[in-house]
Structure 1
């Protein structure tokens, strides 16, 4: 008896899920991706079948292919869908704060998270009573954005080398210096580093453990925001601290230095 069309679609979906499970495995995460041959071994299917399935999934943004290694990893669209679900509390807590921030600065605010080497925008809110979606789900190299610099605040130099040391696009010592500067200031700022005439500020959002889990960002044309970039940074930092508090973070004062006996 042959499969009905609905049964065939079900089989195809299960095969695609098998591929996604393989790309989410510890092996794939350690390697940064898997090739067609290895994926065929893991799921027990022919290489030609795997290749066709991956091309279809890549066309929809569910997986993505590294242009250098030709290996596949989970794609930005899948991550965006999952993030909107798993980070639903973050989004619910942040959205009203972002509306107030955008109204205060009269600029669009963005809620961003880190995904591998990229910054992914989960939510964008204008200064009016509606949401804007132009950046949602888009990934941008972390080192190019102020949001990336605060999202990497918890990273060690070794972790930065693992993420960016082979790209050659941003020297890791320079990136480390920019991250530390943002930590000292309480927010990061960029001026025309990502795009001509575009400036922005970002501040870290922390969870109850104190770990940076997101960034609040304000980006705008230089002619409109450039002269008040530090003011916008401080305002954004206060908004990010508010979101952090709602997530359960309680900042602790730094310990006083010990007095040296005379």
Structure 2
């Protein structure tokens, strides 16, 4: 094969990979099952191309196809790869059992998340008896400015880095959502002062959350741990200090597992 032929083959192969991944990226929680016509509309690719790619992805296990409804959805191979990725994460390895036990003890939702770009990304999620959910949060994203986890993840970034990361105009989810840089700066300063972040109906009505940073061996914040649930179950007016101590303690245990050893002066204050 000539160098020019190899170049054409390489370009074509890359394009096919990009098209296949664009097809997979169309599927969301809101749209978990789609028809070929919907995939065509979402990707802008031709129907014959989408049909061919969808068939290949079904054959490889990346998509599943229901012949009765003619709907396509995410296949088992994607779930398998996601599990491999999670199990290789040092934060997930250090936190999974601890988070599961804490959720059972408190009866609340307990989560661990990292920051991927301008979004948080859930690595662990277990719900307690007082905070049931119909689906897992693992793999979902979320806004940094409107969540306790997000504020814990970015609390030590300088203001210019925060602005570069998430801009200066923030989406409003409820009347309580922080929507301006000065408000967010105050909230982040409070996190640094207390050692934990709170979220009171900032993302969703009727729910609240409390989170603390997780650090790697260098002291850098690499993840955050939270407890969350309905207002009545969390009962922050009476339990905030108790829950904060618990969250900070467990976040510190994960940090220690990652090799971090805090100096006494760095401990959070309640």
SS of the equivalent of 1:144 reads: coil
State the Cα distance separating 1:232 from its structure 2 match.
Answer: 1.4
- Cα pair distance change 1:103/1:84, threshold 3 Å: same
Cα distance change, pair 186–14 in 1 and its aligned pair in 2 (3 A): same
Q: Take 2:223 and 2:137, find their aligned partners in 1: how far apart are those partners?
A: 15
Moved more, 193-202 or 117-126: 117-126
Q: Distance in 1 between matches of 2:128 and 2:170?
A: 38
Superposition deviation, residue 224 in structure 1: 1.1
Separation in 2 of the partners of 1:83 and 1:114? 19
CA contact (8 A) 2:149 2:224 kept: yes
**1:214 aligned onto 2:216:** no
CA distance in 2, matches of 1:83, 1:178: 36
Question: 1:15 maps to what in 2?
Answer: 15
1:56 is aligned to 23
Question: Is 2:96 the counterpart of 1:95?
Answer: yes
Change (3 A) 1:103 1:13: farther
- What SS does the aligned partner of 1:143 have? coil
Cα distance in 2 for partners of 1:214, 1:122 equals 9
Q: What corresponds to 2:148 in structure 1?
A: 146
Q: Does the 8 Å CA contact 2:86/2:92 hold for their aligned counterparts?
A: no
CA distance 1:117–1:229, change in 2 (3 Å): same
The match for 2:191 among 172, 182, 190 is 182
Figure out how many residues of one structure are paired with residues of the other and give that number. Answer: 195
CA-to-aligned-CA distance 1:134-193 (integer Å, 9 cap, x gap): 211111111010000010023110001112224343212211211110121111111111
Whether contact under 8 Å (1:124, 1:135) holds in the other structure is yes
Could you say if the C-alpha distance between residues 83 and 197 of structure 1 is closer, same or farther in structure 2, counting changes exceeding 3 Å? Answer: farther
2:221 and 2:135 mapped to 1: Cα distance? 24
Aligned-CA RMSD value: 3.1
Equivalent residue number for residue 50 of structure 2:
none
TM-score (norm 2): 0.63
The answer on 1:247 being equivalent to 2:258 is yes
* Structure-2 change in CA distance of 1:142 and 1:99 (3 Å): same
Q: Distance in 2 between matches of 1:16 and 1:166?
A: 37
C-alpha distance 60-16 of structure 1, shift in aligned 2 (>3 A): farther
2:205 paired with 1:238? no
Distance 2:241 2:85 in 1: 30
Which residue, out of 161, 164, 186, partners 2:163?
Answer: 161
